[in-house]
Amino acid sequence: MRFFKGFKEGMTCFGDLIAIIVNTVLLFIAYFIGVGITSIVAKIVGKNFLEMKTSAKVKTYWSDLNIKKRSLEECYRQF
């Protein structure tokens, strides 16, 4: 019984290890191909995804939000 329990635990650890390796490889690929290529193209065309810079010229950094009322339909959305 103890043997089977230990064997099961060992297999679970082995499975987890395989999952970590596979996940890491897939995420590596996703990062360098998906994120990387998009990022390079964006940099070439001058697209910024975050507002990175300060400016002495502007008077304010506040931007419009204008959330007045959310309808029930809007609240079903996760975006």
Q: What is the spatial distance between Cα 57 and Cα 11, in angstroms, rounded to a whole number?
A: 62
The contact mask relative to other proteins for 12-41 (x = CB under 8 A, - = no) is -----------xx--xx-xxx--xx-xxx-
Cβ-based nearer residue to other proteins, 1 or 54: 54
Report 43-62 residues binding other proteins (CB under 8 A).
48-56, 58-62
To other proteins, the closest distance from the beta carbon of 46 in angstroms equals: 13
Is residue 42 within 8 Å of residue 49, measured between CB atoms? yes
Chain length of the chain: 79
Residue with tokens 């635990």: 9
